[in-house]
Amino acid sequence: MARIPRELIPWYPTVNTDLCTGDRACFDFCRNDVFAWDEETGRPIVKNPYSCVLGCDACAQVCPAGAIAFPTQEELKATVRRLREELAV
């Protein structure tokens, strides 16, 4: 069965660097190599956004500063629905 290319689905964390305190909780938590650590700024970088597991927002939940945002689950579902129709997969 054909699949939607992961790169077409905008599901990944966005870090608000104004709120981030640089505690590394997200970087230490994620096992999928989504984050890199920027030693210069002392903040995470979303290095591999498409390694993020679809629907997973666990790093946002471990962030005590509320600095990580994701699309909503409803937006994700709507995107997948639209792409399925457009790509006929």
Tell me if 47 contacts ligand SF4 by CB under 6 A: no
Quick one: tokens of 57?
A: 């927002």
User: Which residue from 4, 9, 22, 80 is in contact with ligand SF4, where contact means CB under 6 A?
Assistant: 22
What is the C-alpha separation between 59 and 5, in angstroms, rounded?
23
* 52 binds ligand SF4 per the rule CB under 6 A: no
Determine, following the binding rule CB under 6 A, whether residue 30 of this chain makes contact with ligand SF4.
no
Binding residue (CB under 6 A) for ligand SF4 from 4, 65, 76, 80: 65
Phi and psi dihedrals of 39, rounded to 5?
A: -65, -30
